[in-house]
Amino acid sequence: MDCKVTVLGSGSWGTAQAAHLQRRGCQVTVWGIETDVLADIKENGLNRAYFGDLPICSPGAIKTEADLLKAIEGAEFIVCAVPSAVVRSVSEQMKDHLDPKTIIISTAKGLESGTLMRMSEVLSDVVGRLERIAVLSGPSFAAEVIKGLPTAVTIACAVPRVSAKAAALYHYKNFRVYTSSDIVGVELGGSIKNVIALAAGMLDGAGMGYNARAALMTRGLAELSRIITAMGGRSATVQGLSCLGDLLLTSTGTLSRNHQVGVMLGKGRKLDDIMREMHQVAEGVKCAESCLQLAQSLNIETPIIKEITEVVDGRHNLQEAIDNLFSRAQKFE
């Protein structure tokens, strides 16, 4: 597929998508703010800041650009892979320079602090054109995508024609893409599962056992489902790749940043120290409070998300959170 694609974000997920799309035959440009990373990708075909010596592409196969407006010029597809906290500011910078035909694919996971908007809503709020915005989500560790290992994801859009185009862009060899019209369910699943994965890591770090992790994931999925259906998403989406699939991967896989942060918290380390040492973003940390606020605005009971937020904010330790959850009144499942 010979088309021009701009990937916004030179972190792990942006780089992985750029590598996959370049193999697909696309003309790929990566935009980012880390000039040393951009130089490494362009000159060496590596992103050593995030992947060590794992080859990304042949030197020069992926173009890089530090100027956002130059990066998006002429792009048929724009892949938004920046951290959720900066999606609005990046969108503001490019809103007056977008080609009306360009399709934007949001791959950032999270809820905007304060507004509680999903990332597609943030993009639409700034640039308009919701019908040209698609969302990609699903169980997909970046390093495994770079290696070309089998991966399946979901792309959702309100307009089937657009989701079909976005799916055709990504669907190649070992990367399989399903389409959906449930943009709400797909996007919320990708955001909330990070919070549950953070908690799963805490249990693992504290040596709470497999029983505890299975219980957490199952009941966490129930809370995720309540929020999604209350927001108009479909229950079938909850059982799919973007919810259950991504929850399983992120809560158990050692490559998960959210799980890694949880493990360190479970071992008694301070969150500030953990985040200071991390080169990457663990979206579950920032998203926990927003998920709780969203649930409360919908009058939905989410005891697990509530306790995760208490631990992240330093109001409860892990044992207090577990005691609070297990002392709740018995209920019918």
Query: DSSP letter string over 239-299?
Result: TSIIIIIHHHHHHH-TT-HHHHHHHHHHTT--HHHHHHH-SS--HHHHHHHHHHHHHHHTT
Q: Are 5 and 75 in contact (CB under 8 A)?
A: yes
Average pLDDT estimate for 281-297: 88
Look at the domain 4-181 and name its fold: Rossmann fold (3.40.50)
What six digits make up the tokens of 59? 């030197």
Could you confirm whether domain 191-326 is CATH 1.10.1040.10? yes
Residue 193 bears catalytic tag: yes
Alpha-carbon span 169 to 150, nearest angstrom: 17
Identify the pLDDT of residue 71: 98
**Cα separation values, 276 from 55, 257, 269, Å:** 27, 14, 12
| pLDDT at 281 > cutoff 80 | no
Reported residue count of the chain is 333
Alpha-carbon span 90 to 278, nearest angstrom: 23
DSSP state of 46: -
pLDDT digits (tens, 9 = 90+) for 11-24: 999 999 999 999 99
Lowest mean pLDDT among 51-55, 93-97, 120-124, 317-321: 317-321
Provide the whole-model pTM. 0.94
What six digits make up the tokens of 98? 């977008």
Average pLDDT estimate for 150-162: 96
Average pLDDT estimate for 45-62: 97
Lowest mean pLDDT among 80-84, 98-102, 164-168, 311-315: 311-315
Among 109, 193, 286, 306, the one annotated catalytic:
193
Lowest mean pLDDT among 90-94, 187-191, 278-282: 278-282
Identify the pLDDT of residue 69: 97
Residue 9: pLDDT band with limits 50, 70, 90 = very high
Among the listed residues 317, 328, 327, 325, the one whose alpha carbon sits nearest the alpha carbon of residue 206: 317
For the chain, the structural domain boundaries read 4-181, 191-326
| pLDDT at 1 > cutoff 80 | no
Alpha-carbon span 87 to 133, nearest angstrom: 13
Identify the pLDDT of residue 128: 86
pLDDT digits (tens, 9 = 90+) for 131-142: 899 999 999 999
